[in-house]
Structure 1
Amino acid sequence: MQARLRWITLTKAVPLAISRGTTASVRRLVVELDHDGLVGRGETGGFETGHRSYSTEAVAAELEALLPRFASDEGRALAAQLPAFQALEPWLSPLSPPARCAIDLALHDWWGQRLGQPLWRLWGLERAACSPTSVTLGLAEVEQVLARLDLWQERLGCWPQRVKLKLGSPDGPDHDRALVRAVTRRLQEQAQRHGAAAVSELQVDANGGWDLATAQQLIPSLAEQGVVLVEQPLPAQLDPDADAASFEALDLCCPIPLVADESCWNLADLLRLAPHVDGVNIKLLKSGGISEALLMAQTARSLGLDLMLGCYSDSALLNGAASQLLPLVRWPDLDSHLNLIDDPFQGPDLQADHPLPSARPGLGVIEAPGAAAAGAPC
């Protein structure tokens, strides 16, 4: 098995501002595992959640140290056991979640290609069960946020059924209130204009940008304006007990679904937070790949928790991997690749505002035309 690592650059058409800062472009890593004439790919990169941070350079160093082992005698012996992923656990368990994610995705991509089937079909999922994705409105002045909503309509070719509005503005709660009022009004106007049976859902995501008093003050008014959920109102904390306690304090007075994102990385976090939240946001870079994400999704459903499936500044490769889980998800949030001007991959199918996992084998992702030389070997 040959293993390669290359860098790619992803540039947003519209920079995204959240409570912790603004992102216009990112550098990402693509792992390629080449074996028996098939190439499995996985994407990764650095990210931060306020209480934890991984740089892309540090993730690259982890992968550069690991990948030569795939061409060793030990690697050849492991390759002969594929798809027995369990045999690779000693290699993967020491890695950070984003480094593990790249290998996990590449192995699953290779496995699905070997069997000639997409992962969702191998897992027995139903593609028709997928829901519309939310589209993201970053923090900005009111006029800019409304203009961004219009751009999403142009990009999708339809009015989005779900909108996620970033809050936690550094300008304070009054600006958050103004944004909610303006977007709510625009959604109502569009529903009337298009004769829609219902107003588009409005979700809000503070990305940990509120303190407890602000959250307790704002959330009831958000519910009165028709907001359907609030995501990560308070900052994530390294102390798991303190982190759970912050959600518990909000859960007692939250009239709309409360969703954990930055606080929920893996199955252990899901189980810790389950008594205090209504849903969790699964992201493959946090979970360390699709293996843990699938386990989290199945467990959440058995516990009666709703699922959001989210992304960072991901290309169609990482979102194509995440899309394999879409039939299990109530609130898809896979829109980052739709805001790129230089995506080197083609991934999930898109029908209006419905992302669908591809029917192609593995992760269902292919190189975009002319993009094969976009990355350079490490």
Structure 2
Amino acid sequence: MTSDQPLRVELKTLHLTEPFRIAHGVSTERQVLRLHWGDAVGEAPFVPYYGENPQETLRWVQGLAWSGSPVPEAGPRAGRLALDVLWHDAVGKQRGLPLWKLWELDATKLPPACRSFSIPTDLEAFAEKVRETHRQFRVLKLKLGSGNAEFDEAIAAKAREAAPQATIFADANGGWSVEVAAAIIPKLARYGLAFVEQPLHHSGGVAAWRELRQVMPHSPLPIYADESAQSSNDAHALSGLVDGVNVKLLKSGSLKEAREMIHTARVLKMRVLLGCMIESSIGVTAAAHLAPLADLVDLDGHLYVADDDYCGVKFGSAGEVVLPEGPGLGVAES
């Protein structure tokens, strides 16, 4: 698929509705790479822990003279993903179908969506936010890894108190050591959590996961990998050590590889959480087209963006995913 239309490239700064606190640090804004090609659009976010330079990525894309050809296999992660999303949007528009229909997926069988909370500073204000959010979303995700295990447990306790009927899971973003994880996970089980995501820092590799299983051979809660599961190969390496994986487009690098990672997880009997980064509705909606393949959806990154200039995937009154019907990504400027 080629075109003589010029590729337009820009870096865009997204401002957040509030400071977003996780174990990696605190963010008040994020940058994304935004591409336009005719009426097609693509986007990929820059995430601090990948260490990619936005300006270098911008120059890399500008130097490609891209016109619909296959996405290069080598190059900056965000640049390659933005091109891949752009290409899929263009193909879907050309064929007049949203991606999920192009892939022949069943949008009547969508998993529940969750709403995430960053690490709070005021537990009472946090509890009120949990109560308010639970009126729509039945599944809630808690960011832990605050550096204080007792405070992490207090966050879980306060969330359960505020939403007794909610399905709640926790994400430590690698904020615990093996020793802390083995000590706190049984305590978190008291609050009826569904699972714990990425308790260990990804820099520890598979060895850290093996060590956790040695000191806690029978975890009272299922354990999912996020930062440690970047690809299908990582899923294979973690087989028998984790119960599920979080699949994200930026980690996979393309929609095709994300689908392959989901398939690999299924073969390995792992559960699949479909996630995203903090990004606009363009990137989140691109991921949402894979929702019929997942067990749970964590696609609320755009809801933290104060100046999201696109609309796409939506959530119903019970927090259910509503996929777009428009062709390609199905996004539109808002």
TM-score range, shorter chain: over 0.9
Contact 1:278–1:305, Cα closer than 8 Å, also in 2: yes
Q: Deviations over 1:192-249 (max 9, x none)?
A: xxxxxxx111100000000011100010111122011000001002x74435535644
Alignment of 1:21 with 2:25, yes or no, is: yes
> Pick from 130, 133, 151: which aligns with 1:149?
130
Q: What secondary structure is seen at the aligned counterpart in 1 of 2:202?
A: coil
Q: Deviations over 1:277-334 (max 9, x none)?
A: 1111111111112111111112222322111111211111001100000011112101
Partner amino acid, structure 1, of 2:296: W
Contact 2:281–2:312, Cα closer than 8 Å, also in 1: yes
> Pick from 162, 169, 175: which aligns with 2:151?
175
> Pick from 85, 89, 102: which aligns with 1:122?
102
Contact 1:101–1:288, Cα closer than 8 Å, also in 2: yes
Paired with 1:251 and 1:93, the residues of 2 have a C-alpha distance of 39
Instruction: Give the structure with the larger helix fraction.
Output: 1
State the partner residue of 1:316. Answer: 281
Contact 1:10–1:340, Cα closer than 8 Å, also in 2: yes
State the partner residue of 1:375. Answer: none
State the partner residue of 2:200. Answer: 234
Q: What secondary structure is seen at the aligned counterpart in 2 of 1:181?
A: helix
Structural mapping, 1:25-36, within 5 Å: 25-34=29-38
C-alpha deviation, 1:349, in angstroms: 2.8
Distance 1:135 1:250, change over 3 A: farther
State the partner residue of 2:228. Answer: 263
C-alpha deviation, 1:165, in angstroms: 0.6
5+ unaligned residues in a row in structure 2: which ranges? none
Question: Kindly, what percent of the aligned residue pairs are identical?
Answer: 31
Contact 1:201–1:228, Cα closer than 8 Å, also in 2: yes
State the partner residue of 1:192. Answer: none
State the partner residue of 1:164. Answer: 141
Paired with 1:225 and 1:236, the residues of 2 have a C-alpha distance of 26
- Equivalenced residue count is 328
Q: Bigger radius of gyration, 1 or 2?
A: 1
Paired with 2:152 and 2:205, the residues of 1 have a C-alpha distance of 28
CA RMSD of aligned residues (A): 1.9
Paired with 1:207 and 1:111, the residues of 2 have a C-alpha distance of 35
Partner amino acid, structure 1, of 2:56: A
Q: Deviations over 1:252-282 (max 9, x none)?
A: 2312211100111111112211221111111
Paired with 2:74 and 2:100, the residues of 1 have a C-alpha distance of 28
5+ unaligned residues in a row in structure 1: which ranges? 79-87, 189-198, 369-378
> Pick from 347, 364, 372: which aligns with 2:330?
364
Q: What secondary structure is seen at the aligned counterpart in 2 of 1:227?
A: coil
Paired with 1:351 and 1:274, the residues of 2 have a C-alpha distance of 35
Distance 1:220 1:361, change over 3 A: same
Distance 1:145 1:58, change over 3 A: farther
C-alpha deviation, 1:69, in angstroms: 4.1
